[in-house]
Amino acid sequence: MQKLLTQSEWIERAQAVLPAGGFGNFDPGIIIARGQGSRVWDENDREYVDYLIGSGPMLLGHGHPEVMEAVLEQLPKGMTFFANNSKGIELAEAIVDAVACCEQVRFVASGGEADMYAMRLARAYTGRTKILKFEGGYHGMSAEAQMSLAPNARVNFPQAVPDSAGIPQGVADQMLIAPYNDLAAVEMLLAENPDVAAIIVEPLQRIIPALPGYLQGLRRLCTRNGVLLIFDEIVTGFRLAYGGAQERYGVTPDICTLGKIIGGGFPLAALGASAEIMKHFDKSVVGAADWLMQLGTLSGNPVASAAGLKTMEVLRRDGAYAQLRNNGEQLQNMLSSALTKAGLAHQICGDETLFDVYFTGQACTDYRNARHDHPAVNERFNQVLRDNGVFKSPGKLYPSLALTADDFELTSQAIRRAVQSIGEMQSGA
């Protein structure tokens, strides 16, 4: 019988073989052993209510029985083929039925790939070279996406600041950076740069909502200037509504990217657009010079497609999104009530389906003002939450449909303890 290792032993092993001791995604000081429903357990068998949910995909919770059944039905039939398969085709049909801008889709394995190809597709279609993105916007790990994601230096717009080593200056020269929620800045940049191929935007930037009319304004500016509008819906797709941000806000982009939920917890993502734009993936239609080459070993993987199809089926059922929003609203009210009672300045920022708290008294409308007045307060808050059985990202909270009354009670107690701890820290106790 194999000896069970403690969490500290797993951390030691990870430090020997993984840079910085982790996968690069999350705090390497915790090793998750398993998940079920709304809960996860670490390697010391400590239990948490899970508000990270795999950074968003597990909207139904871990090990949903219907999703598990769909996966187990597919596994004996084959795990991957590098060829068309019926589950992938069915999933493409379901996405086209659900998402306003999609007449056709192309599958990839990750959201970062989808965003990379979306920008490349926009260049192929328009024949232009520049991409406009927003400071603080996250679009994966491509060279273009790693421009002004989290810049420490506040440079003048539209200068792009690389967030990673190894990116040539030539990439920065093709990127324009604008402040989120500022239509005047976008209008000026488009007027000065007729070679912009696309604007890529998160309709909900991380957790910062678009101001009323902002997304509609981007749509108008893109149409007027012959620029493609790309919605990065890796996070918002099938979360804000079944039709994603496009349904929620009533704005249809030219291209969108989807991930997380459409794979049901497995590696799968997609980009979609009109057949006219997507024809650049078909060499026989556009010719070699205008063809956009794209392939991937796991693209359209049948197991991921089966999981995604079943997840989407569950989400289509009556009341699913009402319940999700109700869950999020309960959590928001818990946070706001406890923080207000303690006299702590704060903003609950985001949508009921995805949000967090900023410890600040000012409105959070872009990367530069969406920040904590005292970062140490946020660090203490999140640490005490985890110490009391709440597992979340330091900057996001993902509600799920798996949450129970017991989860809300545990979370409420953890929030009260975290608020009390902040008070003790501020008083020097």
Positions marked active-site: 138, 232, 260
3-class SS letters over the chain: CCCCCCHHHHHHHHHHHCHHHCCCCCCCCCCEEEEEECEEEECCCCEEEECCHHHCCCCCCECCHHHHHHHHHHHHHCCCCCCCCHHHHHHHHHHHHHCCCCCEEEEECCHHHHHHHHHHHHHHHHCCCEEEEECCCCCCCCCCCCECCCCCCCCCCCCCCECCCCCCHHHHHCEEEECCCCHHHHHHHHHHCCCEEEEEECCEECCEECCCCHHHHHHHHHHHHCCEEEEEECCCECCCECCHHHHHHCCCCCEEEECHHHHCCCCCEEEEECHHHHHHHCHHHHCHHHCCCCCCCCCCCHHHHHHHHHHHHHHCCCCHHHHHHHHHHHHHHHHHHHHHHCCCCCEEEEECCEEEEECCCCCCCCCCCCCCCCHHHHHHHHHHHHHCCEECCCCCECCCCCCCHHHHHHHHHHHHHHHHHHHHHHHCC
